[in-house]
Amino acid sequence: MRVRRLIGGVAGACLAALVMPGAAVAQGVTASNGPFSIFDNLFTGSITQTAPSQPAQRAPSQPPAGSSAALPWSGEDGASGNPLMTAAAIRQAAANFPNCVAAMWPDAARRGVSRESFERYTAGLTPDLRLMDLMDSQPEFTKAIWDYLDILVSDARIARGREILAQYKPQFDAMERAYGVDRYIVASIWGIESNYGTQGGDRSVVNSTATLACVGRRQAYFKDEFLAALEILHRGDVRPEHLRGSWAGAFGGTQFMPTSFKRYAVDFDHDGRRDVVDNPADLIASTANNLKKDGWQSGRTWGYEVVVPKGFNYMLADRAKSMTLAQWQHLGVARPGGKPFPHASDKAYLLAPAGAEGPGFLMLQNFRTIMKYNPAEAYALAIGHFADRLRGGQPFAQAWPRQERVLSRAERLELQQLLARRGFYRGTPDGQIGSLTREALRGFQASIGTAADGFASADMLDRLRGR
């Protein structure tokens, strides 16, 4: 999702964020392999890619040949307010697109791309301006973390994942011997990023990255991605017709951005190509290599569901406040059913994504590693839980507070403004519930004598309003 590092546009595609009360969101962040992947692929057309409002007169642009994009560019200014995202700037940059692409030849040459390859793979490129709407969209998300997990960790996806694990058992066996990464985590990423290759996107990676390298507000970032895509084609790692993916350029079953492909992709079966699109061995090993280099600890899990005792000091539920499992246990934090912690000296932090009324989780080093793959706690929780279910684990033992209403973006913005007015919030109100907002909310909750769990509920908003 692997947005891996970008957004403002994710893990998905046009993802600005998946908002969950009291939980971290993906907007404004970028992940390791590919920005935008997961949300792009799983929620296309439903949650993340909400069509912009229709202007009185549209300035259509034709999508590139073979593109899955059916909608033209709206012709409107982008929502970010960036000067490069005004309609006039977009049109001006689009008009200069051929010159912009041609000007990148010297950089491609310095990377070892031949003139023949450059001409071949840039011939016929046209700017896909629909990407401007996707990059700068601000959709209204109404999914709580429990709904998000229901979508991603479904019975059908679990069943398919177990089929994949059986079908490619030799490849998973070899990967575990080589990298020491849990096969269930790799299979989980594959399933959640692209539903095992069935939802990986159908836009030309070269055309998308060329468009974004020449038009819009992230040109420097995407120039690197475009040049890396040309390197992939020049080397012959992926067939040109198969280098297709999300609007931001993430491709393959686990959604590598081109630059991440360069860093992590491996030729695991030694056929001379690093192919994460059509070669399961390379896909599985490359994903494991990514996790290993990001700090995966062999023989350790990602975290544990825990029961947090009544009256617990939720000011300790902070990613920066790591303690050993034994210390957490001393504070009354325990696994459901009294199960022991296998490695009591391991350090973890407490995550309470739905506040005091929902399950708690102690997150270990491997959880932080998953977040390097895609820096959203909800994503990493889905990956870890899906992996546990694939290996035969049970659903979460504790219930989510499904009766809670998810705040709208306008309400989240108001909540931040009210917290700032009372001196608790020191960030810039943006309508996204992140660590600063949760910290501020915990401070307010402590001041009024309620559980300081940082959960952005409708009740907390009403209290801030003085009701």
Whether the pLDDT of residue 272 is over 70: the answer is yes
Whether the pLDDT of residue 57 is over 90: the answer is no
The structural domains of the chain, with segments of one domain joined by +, span 303-390, 409-465
pLDDT at 24: 35
Confidence of residue 435 (pLDDT cuts 50, 70, 90): confident
Torsion angle of C-alpha atoms 375, 379, 381, 382, degrees rounded to 10: -160
Place of tokens 């979508």: 151
pLDDT at 189: 98
What are the pLDDT digits (tens) for 311-368? 999 999 999 999 999 999 999 999 999 999 999 999 999 999 999 999 999 999 999 9
Closest CA to 424 of 438, 444, 445: 444
For residue 257, CA distances in Å to 22, 214, 371, 466 come to 29, 18, 16, 47
Q: Which residues contact 99 (CB under 8 A, 6 or more apart)?
A: none
3-state SS class at 7? coil
Phi, psi of 63 (to 5 degrees): -70, 155
CB 148 within 8 A of CB 21: no
C-alpha angle 62/68/73, rounded to 5°?
40
More confident residue, 57 or 285: 285
Whether the pLDDT of residue 14 is over 60: the answer is no
pLDDT at 238: 97
CB atoms within 10 A of CB 459: 13
CB atoms within 10 A of CB 104: 19
Q: What is the DSSP letter of 65?
A: T
Q: Which residues contact 418 (CB under 8 A, 6 or more apart)?
A: 461, 464, 465
Confidence of residue 434 (pLDDT cuts 50, 70, 90): confident
Whether the pLDDT of residue 419 is over 50: the answer is yes
Beta bridge partners of 362: 304, 350
Closest CA to 256 of 205, 183, 221, 213: 205
Whether the pLDDT of residue 281 is over 90: the answer is yes
Q: What is the DSSP letter of 129?
A: T
344-355 burial, b for 16+ CB within 10 Å, e for fewer? eebebbbbbbbb
More confident residue, 280 or 24: 280
With pLDDT > 90 as the criterion, what percentage of the chain qualifies? 80
183-200 burial, b for 16+ CB within 10 Å, e for fewer? bbbbbbbbbbbbbbbebb
- Average pLDDT for 19-45: 39
- Average pLDDT for 412-434: 94
**Distance (Å, rounded) from C-alpha 177 to C-alpha 81?**
50
Whether pTM exceeds 0.85: yes
Whether the pLDDT of residue 62 is over 80: the answer is no
* CA end-to-end distance (rounded Å), the chain: 40
For residue 425, CA distances in Å to 262, 422, 444 come to 40, 8, 9
pLDDT at 141: 65
What are the pLDDT digits (tens) for 66-106? 444 458 999 999 988 999 999 999 999 999 999 999 999 99
With pLDDT > 70 as the criterion, what percentage of the chain qualifies? 84
Mean pLDDT of the chain: 87
pLDDT at 137: 81
What are the pLDDT digits (tens) for 124-163? 999 999 999 999 986 666 689 999 999 999 999 999 999 9
Confidence of residue 51 (pLDDT cuts 50, 70, 90): very low
More confident residue, 331 or 15: 331
205-224 burial, b for 16+ CB within 10 Å, e for fewer? bbbbbbbbbbbbbbeebbbb
C-alpha angle 462/463/467, rounded to 5°?
70
pLDDT at 70: 58
Whether the pLDDT of residue 28 is over 70: the answer is no
Confidence of residue 188 (pLDDT cuts 50, 70, 90): very high
